[in-house]
Structure 1
Amino acid sequence: MDMKLEGPVAPQEWQGWLPDSFYRLGPGPGLHLGVNNHRASTPISNIFGCIEGRSEPDHYVVIGAQRDAWGPGAAKSAVGTAILLELVRTFSSMVSNGFQPRRSLLFISWDGGDFGSVGSTEWLEGYLSLLHLKAVVYVSLDNAVLGDDKFHAKTSPLLVSLIENILKQVDSPNQSGQTLYEQVAVNNHNWDAEVIQPLPMDSSAYSFTAFAGVPAIEFSFVEDGQVYPFLHTKDDTYENLHRVLRGRLPAVAQAVAQLAGQLLIRLSHDHLLPLDFGRYGDVVLRHIGNLNEFSGDLKARGLTLQWVYSARGDYIRAAEKLRKEIYSSEESDERLTRMYNVRIMRVEFYFLSQYVSPADSPFRHIFLGRGDHTLGALLDHVRLLRTSSSGALGAASSAVGSGLGFQESRFRRQLALLTWTLQGAANALSGDVWNIDNNF
């Protein structure tokens, strides 16, 4: 019996991998689906371990790994959990031998990961009011080893420079005599585009940044041109993962552990937090470059992007001002250092829009989040200026949540939300959180 769906062809992003087969939206032949699920409440358990910091014990560097999986979960959870346990053992041994981190280290084994990161999300929701005051960075070990050819760091821009430095201190797992940075630099000519990537929504680290405003990172090794085929299946076994990596699983896992370990040492022990707070100025500039393409279309309607340029300039000046303050300050002044560290660790939080409801738009981050307040939504809306009024207009409008094409009032509101958030981040970085005087 031919069981293929009929109807219109599905959008390109919904098309699957089967060759010579178009995926359609339906309807199709009569089907009967029997569901034998049993609804039940099952408790889940997150497991915590903590090493208390010496000078800033109330500031936490958090590292976590998912513990559960649908099947054996070798790549999905076992590798990350093994690395997490090894890091706990190593840092406990270091503390026994006299190591004293400046900030606290919080090791977490998450439960309920394969049900939408329930364990980590519930914890985030429960402690949201404290996280922007306490959590410095979140490091995820999920999906860390899916191959051994290419290295990806899915991360907040605040951590890019630190990752680049640490890669120079870790040996390559498959290139003898090379550092991991040398391996990555040779194979990737465009560092930002090919190695550094934004956190995807299906990452357990995504909610930390987009929902809670905590900079986060998830790094992984993958096969070049081949997706690990056994993820989320009963065939995600140690034997299959070892075979895909051609016997190199221990070496790659060791490289991940060294990378995570060096990252934890720097984040927990450095006198001043090694977060590149000026990096977001470059991120804004890159996005503005995309918007600039439409400046003529906006000008023809009497609209301008000047306020975004102004807020970006204020952010750059605030970052430079803070750098100069830090450079001219006494490193031995603990009170002053703590003040600087608090300002640095709150940078990500201030990119959460304070002008939308967390209930309506939980992912409030203006660069990474989802909703009309984001820079991506603004760009999608502005693109409608050049869309014809034919059928393509309806498709483009639906993509940004509006069936009426470009709307000047909506553009003004989006621009205001974006600019106020960016200006607020600049003011917070400079130590002046109340100075928002732009009018629209």
Structure 2
Amino acid sequence: MSTLVMRNQARQLLHNKFVVVLGGSVQRSMYKDLVLLLQTDQCLTLSQLKSKGEFSFKQDVLVEGGRLGPMTNGTEYREVRQYRSDHHLVRFYFLTRVYSPYMESILEDFRQGLKPDILVVSSCVWDITRYGPECLGQYKENLHKFFGQIKTIVYHDCLILWALALPLSKRINGGFLVPEVSHLAPTLCYDIIAANFYSCRLAEAYGLDVLDLHFHFRFRLQHRMADGVHWDGLAHRRISGLLLHHAADAWGVDLYDPPSPAGGVALQRCSMVRHQQRNRSDQFELVPPNSATDPHMWFPSQPPLCWQQDAAAAGVEVLHSPFPVQPRPPPGPRFPADGRRRLAGQNSLLPDNPWPRQQVYVGVRKPFSQMDFSAGDCFRFCPHSQANDPRVRRGRGRRTNFRTHPYPPMSGRWAADKRTPYSGDTSRLDSAWTEW
């Protein structure tokens, strides 16, 4: 799926929408890329990615913190930015913990003031590195508190998107990794995976949407910066595309509609019929090549009633089937009671429509298909066994990647006589063992 989103598409999709981004320095770059995408199709430069706490970026305003206060790498650092135009409002809050007194003040702002339409949240790296040896347990408790609070504050139609942390390098030079916790750097990339797994399952349990950025960028490490934490402008443009595509799918909006004229309205929602027809896969043929001449093929002249009602409610014209309609043939000789002989090999229980339905092939990675809850309020993971997997790669003429037999190979006369049972005379056995 292409994630390329242009300026006009982003402006129409976020028309009269209030977007809030909560997170650390990586999420600040995500906010900057959204602000830049609403104005131009260019990507962020290196200097724009490295800048921190500036007074203005692309006509936005520094509301709180940043250069208005102390510029530190501590957990007390604050930064609030906001971009506002005639029809767009984007705000960013810098977080060092997913739930804290500062987060409670942010939630109070949402409760008393304007509520967001899209809320993008991500907080992981600071939580599991800067708050002592018990930070992992506290992180799990804070996730429960935040997910439970945010669902009661925002509107029910607000799109809450929990973004998982991006892959980290084993060599990290980020500002959050102070010398006191530098010993965590070699194993932090694995701790991130465990924290992502827990937060993802918990967010799904609370009914939130999850965007697995770790999965999308696990093979795009060439876009990661030299510090091992941050990412370049191309990566952040792809992240913006993933965010907007997720929002479009949640709202039932087709991003690739023809652009509206100047001064027109935003992208309109399409009915389920039109959405399915425009987003179906092109790998499968919905109709066999000889459907026009096959007397056993039959297609309805009109879509089902539920589709017609859906299209009428959305104000979209119902698209009729473009395929030729053939009358349903009379039933063939299927039962012995009709007095006619069935053909040899004929199936007596043929379906009304012999053409199979469109098949959907699951991708290589099924998210959490082998992960499930277990007793004791914890998670259970069933790893895939590769011992008998035919997809395991084995070298030609070389040893396989796992041992197939616990004993050494046999050759010579011992190999030839191994099928002959021997009695008390072991001289042949001793001589064969000496030769081997």
Q: Which TM bucket (shorter chain)?
A: under 0.3
Q: Name the structure where helix makes up a greater proportion of residues.
A: 1
- TM-score normalized with structure 2 length: 0.28
* Relative contact order higher in (CA < 8 Å, ≥ 6 apart): 1
Which has the higher Rg, Structure 1 or Structure 2? Answer: 2
Give TM-score, length-normalised by structure 1. Answer: 0.27
